[in-house]
Amino acid sequence: MDNNNAEHNDELQIQLPQEVQRGVYANQMMLSHTREEFVLDFILATPPVGLVNARVLVSPSHARRIVTALQENIGRYEAVHGAIEPANATILPASNNQPLI
């Protein structure tokens, strides 16, 4: 590779595969962690069954960045649309006794 002609691009080019574009809907989430990672299980709960339709594992430092980004975006949302009222939903324990969020 010729370094004299190489373009330096510091932007990460994000690709969204066709099978991921549609996304998935989750109305519950189960969260757990180890010393090394946080595990976010996104669940479509249609009692009596809940189906984990996405599992995301992140490092503790990335989990902190996610929380910060969510707080900032919720603040922007509420500035435009008003306060988000907490759902009056019952939190059901999952079969492994982890609370669902």
Q: What is the mean pLDDT of the chain?
A: 86
Residue 47: per-residue pLDDT: 85
Strand partners, 41: 30, 55
Mean pLDDT for the stretch of residues 12-36: 93
Task: Give residue-wise pLDDT tens across range 74-83.
Answer: 999 999 999 9
Number of domains in the chain: 1
Residue 33: both structure tokens together: 């962690």
Are the C-beta atoms of 92 and 72 separated by less than 8 Å? no
55: domain range? Answer: 25-81
Structural domain contains residue 75? yes
Structural domain contains residue 38? yes
Structural domain contains residue 30? yes
pTM for the full model?
0.74
